Structure 1
Amino acid sequence: MTELWNWRIDGGTPVEVYPALAEALGRVVMPLAVADPVRLPAYAVVCDVWEAPGVYGTVVDCYGVPERLPELPALAALARVLGRNCLMRDDTLDAGRHLLVAPDGTIRPVHFDVADTDDGEVLSHHRLCTVADARCRGWSQCHRSRWAPDSIAPALAAA
């Protein structure tokens, strides 16, 4: 069984992201556009990287990731290699709630406004998930998450 990862990066171009992904994952990374399933090494990860409008506009999709590769430490390694903040969806059903992974490995929940456009989802209005925000207090989905409002954790603790 394999996984699909969908991440966003605060800047960066596909040309710099592909080698950073290979370093962070410790695997061969094949761009989706040139990956030949017949000639693909068993340890390779197929990825698609593109630029979208809005904040965190560099989008990364990794296909066929082996289950034994843990996602949060892998994303933390990518953030460190690139020196950029990265995002992944959190464990709630809130489309605007993500986990922000900083280059130093710090993980914290954040919110964005999400707009569906012809170019895909566009994120805007970045804000921390905190009980100081009325939308994150009380019975919000934020409290159903492993990542409660105002939580901050190192990547190794998240594994």
Structure 2
Amino acid sequence: MTELWNWRIDRAAPVEVYPALAEALGRVVMPLAIADPVRLPTYAVVCDVWEAPGEFGTVVDCYGVPESLNEQRAIAALARLLDRNCLLTDDTLDAGRHLLVAPDGTIRPVHFDVTETDDGEVLTNQRLCTLTHPGCRGWSRCHRSRWAPDSVNPARAAA
């Protein structure tokens, strides 16, 4: 079985992202626009990278990722290679809550305001998920996550 990964990167040009993705994943990366399903190399991962408005406007979709690859390690490696902060969705199903992955491999929960536009979701107003914010206290979804408010975790094998 294969997986779909959806990430965001803080201001990285798509032409920089593809080779960094290949190195981070340890796989051949084929851009979606030119991927021919009949001629894909056995270990290829198909990726689409594009620019969207708002914060973390570089969007990355990876299709057909083997289950054997660890998403958190892969995005931590990508953040390090690009020297850029990256985002992945967390486990709360809250559209505005993400995991911020820094180039040093640390992962922490953050919130954004999310606005739906014709160009997709626009993220603005980044803020840490912290108990000092009223929306992260009490019975919030943040407490149901394995990434609790104020948590900072290393991504193993990121360096």
TM-score interval for Structure 1 and Structure 2 normalised by the shorter chain: over 0.9
User: What number of residue pairs does the alignment pair up?
Assistant: 158
Which residue identity is paired with 2:88? M
Aligned to 1:153: 153
Name structure 2 gaps, 5 residues minimum: none
Identify if the C-alpha distance between structure 1 residues 79 and 42 changes in structure 2 by more than 3 Å, giving closer, same or farther: same
- 1:29-59: CA deviation from partner (whole Å, max 9, x where unpaired): 0000000000101100000000000000000
5+ long unaligned stretches in structure 1: none
**Which residue of the partner structure matches residue 34 of structure 1?**
34
Structure 2 matches for 1:8-27, cutoff 5 A?
8-27=8-27
Distance 2:104 2:157 in 1: 13
SS in 1 for 2:75: helix
Check if 1:136 corresponds to 2:136.
Answer: yes
Q: CA RMSD in A?
A: 1.1
User: Could you say which residue in structure 2 is the equivalent of 1:89?
Assistant: 89
Q: Secondary structure at the match of 2:3?
A: strand
Contact 2:88 2:99 in 1 (8 A): yes
Corresponding residue SS for 1:156: coil
- The one-letter code sitting in structure 2 at the alignment partner of 1:155 is A
- How far residue 93 of structure 1 moved from its aligned partner, in angstroms, is 1.4
Q: What is the deviation of 1:157?
A: 8.6
Secondary structure class of the residue paired with 2:43: coil
1:120, 1:3 → 2: CA distance?
Answer: 22
Query: Percent of counterpart pairs with the same letter?
Result: 81
Question: Could you tell me how far apart the structure 2 residues matched to 1:140 and 1:41 are?
Answer: 45
Distance 2:94 2:157 in 1: 23
Q: TM-score under structure 2 normalisation?
A: 0.98
Q: Cα–Cα, structure 1 residues 149 and 157, in superposed 2: closer, same or farther, change >3 Å?
A: farther
Separation in 1 of the partners of 2:41 and 2:49?
20
- Structure 2 residue 58 is the aligned partner of structure 1 residue 43: no
- Judged with a 3 Å threshold, the aligned counterparts in structure 2 of structure 1 residues 157 and 136 are, in CA distance, closer, same or farther, namely farther
After TM superposition, give the deviation of residue 102 of structure 1 in Å.
0.2
CA distance in structure 1 between the aligned counterparts of 2:106 and 2:157, rounded to whole angstroms: 10
Cα distance in 2 for partners of 1:121, 1:31 equals: 22
TM-score, structure 1 as length reference: 0.98
Residue 122 of structure 1: aligned partner: 122
Matched, 1:71 2:71: yes
